[in-house]
Structure 1
Amino acid sequence: MSFLSDHNHASKAIYLLGFCVAFALAGDLTLYAVLPVYTSSRGFDLAAVGLILSANRLVRLPLNPLVGLLLSRMVRRPFLLAGLGLGILSNSIYILAPDEKLFLVGRVLWGIAWSLIYIASYCMILDITTADNRAWGSGALQSFYFLALAFFPLLGGFLSDTLGFNTALLVCVFFAGAGFLLASLLLPETYQNAPPTNNPETWKQYLPQRILPNLKQGWLEMKELLNRTNVSISYLQLLVFMVGEGLFMSTITLFIARHLDISKSFHGIEIKAAAMGGAILALRSILSSGIAPLAGKISDRWKNRWGILAFGNVLGVLGMIWIAGVATSVLFLAGVILAALYSGVTIAILPALIEEANPRQPVGKLMGLLTTFGDIGMAIAPLLAYNLLEKFSLQNIYTVGAVLLSSGLAFIWLGAVGVMTTRNPKNSRSQNRRL
């Protein structure tokens, strides 16, 4: 639709897309906040919780490149609506699931749903933005993600503690349904060169002639990304999503319940672990969203991304140590703040680093590489943490997290060797970006 080329209409479409994405995340973010302390009501053991919270990421690892190939040459809106619809179904299964097996099915469906939603959303943004406002469009969508990350764990924790776990999930179904309705009623198709999809012959010719050859070519070209700098950046991406995101998000509520004294009430209202965990996750998200653009701006001005990355890494190590120590509530909160700053700094700078290190590579391939390593980190963190809880305390696990983060300093040094200053962002590719 040509009207989307107008900046104002494109902005409205991006904001609408942001609300759809944020609403779809309600159930997933609620589970991260409250499931660890509601295992007994469902008969789950802690190892099952780790698998449940990791399943959606494991599904996405092989699915992401396939969805990306499909969406690079087909209409976007049906894929987005399919993802939003699967999100409603997955949230409904959480409510109805009598045991961990059916709950796991819901998580697998959510993994498929989020792959469709996430990649379709970014394809739509690339369709309706130009080189002059593409970063703004991507950042605007990311801001809705951070707002969801701040709001829904808090809301889910509060509703679970006051009205019950299933009621909280029912509210999440409502939000997911609202996102689906918004997209189906108000969001237009953005892909301008889509072939006719109502003709079966189109699909018979389209898949073998375009999708499969591109998949093979893309796989062969991946070898070009194997170098010291890309390995370092990929490891740092894995680290921030495994420790800074996955471990923290999936265990902080359980950590509070086991290691913090929250028995005091506030104006007669008893504060429970799920609500406190939601509040901590909300605080962390707000801090990360605030520091990310600031860190990016400073790194642009100082031309020393590796140095700022190292500074953020040190903050992360200190944060995990202070959280693990639980010496006082003040130190615990300070640790949460430092860990949030680490995540915001790292996630903001790594995409710029990998683009500047590979100026001739398509942005889609580079971001696909980062996304894959991020998903690996998010997938294995809950799985490892909840299985290790059979032998180790959460304090010990967070200490191991601090040690892992400290290893990031070695990879920062490895990546920065021979690259004393990063390339000028003005020299990096700004046009012809594709997923």
Structure 2
Amino acid sequence: MNGSARIRVIQVALITAIALFGDAMLFIVLPLYYSQFGLTALWQIGLLLSINRLIRLPLNPLVAWFYRRFSLRTGLLIAMILASLTTFSYGVFPIFWVLFIARMLWGVAWSLLRMGGFLTIIEVSSDDNRGKHVGMYNGLWGIGGLVGMLAGGLLADQMSIMPITTVFALCAAACIPVVWRVIPNVLITNDDSKQAVTNDKFSFTSYHTIILLTSLGMGFLIMGLFASTLSPLIETYYIEELTVLGVVIGAATVAGVLQAVRWSWDPFVAPLVGKWMDRLEHSHYLLFVPLSGGAIVFFLIGWTSELYLLLLLLVIFQLISTFFSTTVDTIATEAASKTDRVKFMMWHTIMVDTGAAVGPLLSYLLLSTFDGSLSIVYFIASVIFLAYACVWAYAAKKIKTKRT
């Protein structure tokens, strides 16, 4: 692996991780302590957790346009300024409409960060190391989820929200001079020589469509539905709070720890998954592992009523999440490297954002409709996982047929 390429990916990933602290904290804390944020209804929780993704849908084409004309440094500077201001506002302004605007602005920041990261990977990678770079990038920016969810959940059980959001905002602000110093002020190119043209209608049209639909499902199932319902799911079975060495261990702390489990192993597991994909002739075959596993685990989560079994299933699903996100992102960047990379990654991020936006909103609408029944939500998610496995089984058969 080229040293300078590796450094570029690490720099962008760690900057993204620090920007993520406040958003990650919100997914754990908001469903449990929504009154501290000035909220009065469940639909407000779903909307605040979704609006940053919804706003990115029309924004992503503008961000793609932005990165064709402005440098990665400029995009990351804007993103870190917005991340700092919005995270600070979560604790200072407990008013729904102020938080609504802040979440929209965070959506702008995340679009700049996410697309900048993907374009960096495509710029510095080849077919031999693209999966490993994607895994490393996903693993490192996931540290932001580790810190935000673990520290945010633990601290929220001990104190008010404002000190937590202030510290996270200061961390993001401290990165602004770092971005100016370490990120090169150059445009990310779109090398025409890598934009292969194919007459194979299936591989160019149908295959890319299936990839983008899978991006939609990944955003919906992992970043939307699962992330937004984890805290209330644990609270359903976690009846009594514990106190250990004077520290209150509530549902928010447990949810933060469970989310942190994934982010703690991602820097190690995700690159291994990516490296495995680099060695496979048909890398999309690896998708059957998380798709079938996700269907089984979500069905069992909806069925179980025992806390310890639930916690075990949630840890298993966190491992499945690592596999799912790494495989989908690798397949998407692989496809983008053979066409207009900015345009295809724009659509990939749009589809992920759409799923992640609809996930919390639809989950809380279902909870409101079915009297708070999380089992129904997870049974539906299990069926969606199974449907994707069937679609990829069909796609794999078609691809094999055309290549033989």
Scaled by the length of structure 2, the TM-score of the pair is 0.85
Q: Offset of 1:72 from its aligned partner?
A: 1.9
Partner of 2:194: none
Partner of 1:68: 64
- Show CA shifts across 1:210-267 (max 9, x none): xxxxxxxxxxxxx998733233322222222211231111110121112334534445
- Paired with 2:117 and 2:212, the residues of 1 have a C-alpha distance of 23
- Residue 228 (structure 2) aligned to one of 230, 242, 250: 250
- Paired with 2:335 and 2:7, the residues of 1 have a C-alpha distance of 34
Q: Please list, as runs of the form range in 1=range in 2, the aligned pairs for 1:150-161 lying within 5 A after superposition.
A: 150-161=146-157
Q: Offset of 1:156 from its aligned partner?
A: 0.8
- Residue 43 (structure 1) aligned to one of 38, 61, 68: 38
Partner of 1:275: 253
Partner of 2:85: 89
Q: Offset of 1:374 from its aligned partner?
A: 0.9
235 and 24 in structure 1: CA distance in 2 versus 1, 3 angstrom threshold? same
Partner of 2:15: 20
1:389 match: secondary structure: helix
Q: Please list, as runs of the form range in 1=range in 2, the aligned pairs for 1:239-388 lying within 5 A after superposition.
A: 239-267=217-245, 269-354=247-332, 360-388=338-366
- Paired with 1:345 and 1:105, the residues of 2 have a C-alpha distance of 33
Does 1:418 pair with 2:398? yes
78 and 237 in structure 1: CA distance in 2 versus 1, 3 angstrom threshold? closer
State the one-letter code of the partner of 1:182.
V
- Paired with 2:323 and 2:133, the residues of 1 have a C-alpha distance of 20
Does 1:399 pair with 2:373? no
- Number of residue-to-residue matches in the alignment: 389
Is the Cα–Cα contact under 8 Å of residues 55 and 107 in structure 1 kept in the other structure?
yes
Q: Which moved more, 1:236-245 or 1:12-21?
A: 12-21
Partner of 2:112: 116
Q: Offset of 1:107 from its aligned partner?
A: 0.2
- Paired with 1:123 and 1:360, the residues of 2 have a C-alpha distance of 13
Identity value in percent:
29
Gaps of 5+ in 2: 190-200
Is the Cα–Cα contact under 8 Å of residues 79 and 120 in structure 1 kept in the other structure?
yes
Partner of 1:33: 28
Partner of 1:211: none
Is the Cα–Cα contact under 8 Å of residues 315 and 341 in structure 1 kept in the other structure?
no
Does 1:164 pair with 2:160? yes
State the one-letter code of the partner of 2:22.
G
Q: Offset of 1:295 from its aligned partner?
A: 3.4
1:72 match: secondary structure: helix
Q: Offset of 1:360 from its aligned partner?
A: 4.4
Does 1:181 pair with 2:177? yes
State the one-letter code of the partner of 2:86.
S
2:55 match: secondary structure: helix
Instruction: State the structure with more CA Rg.
Output: 1
Q: Offset of 1:363 from its aligned partner?
A: 3.3
2:241 match: secondary structure: coil
- Residue 389 (structure 2) aligned to one of 388, 406, 409: 409
Is the Cα–Cα contact under 8 Å of residues 290 and 324 in structure 2 kept in the other structure?
yes
Task: Tell me how large the CA RMSD over aligned residues is.
Answer: 3.1
- Show CA shifts across 1:90-112 (max 9, x none): 11221232321110000001011
Is the Cα–Cα contact under 8 Å of residues 131 and 278 in structure 2 kept in the other structure?
no
Scaled by the length of structure 1, the TM-score of the pair is 0.79
- Paired with 2:234 and 2:367, the residues of 1 have a C-alpha distance of 15
1:270 match: secondary structure: strand
- Paired with 2:117 and 2:214, the residues of 1 have a C-alpha distance of 25
Q: Which moved more, 1:363-372 or 1:290-299?
A: 290-299
Partner of 2:195: none
Bigger relative CO (Cα 8 Å, ≥ 6 apart): 2
Q: Offset of 1:415 from its aligned partner?
A: 1.6
- Show CA shifts across 1:312-332 (max 9, x none): 212101221222233323321
1:361 match: secondary structure: coil
Partner of 1:202: none
- Show CA shifts across 1:385-422 (max 9, x none): 11222122122212211122121122112322322389
2:398 match: secondary structure: coil
Is the Cα–Cα contact under 8 Å of residues 127 and 334 in structure 2 kept in the other structure?
no
- Paired with 2:304 and 2:205, the residues of 1 have a C-alpha distance of 40
Q: Please list, as runs of the form range in 1=range in 2, the aligned pairs for 1:120-159 lying within 5 A after superposition.
A: 120-123=116-119, 138-159=134-155
Does 1:56 pair with 2:52? yes
- Paired with 1:354 and 1:422, the residues of 2 have a C-alpha distance of 20
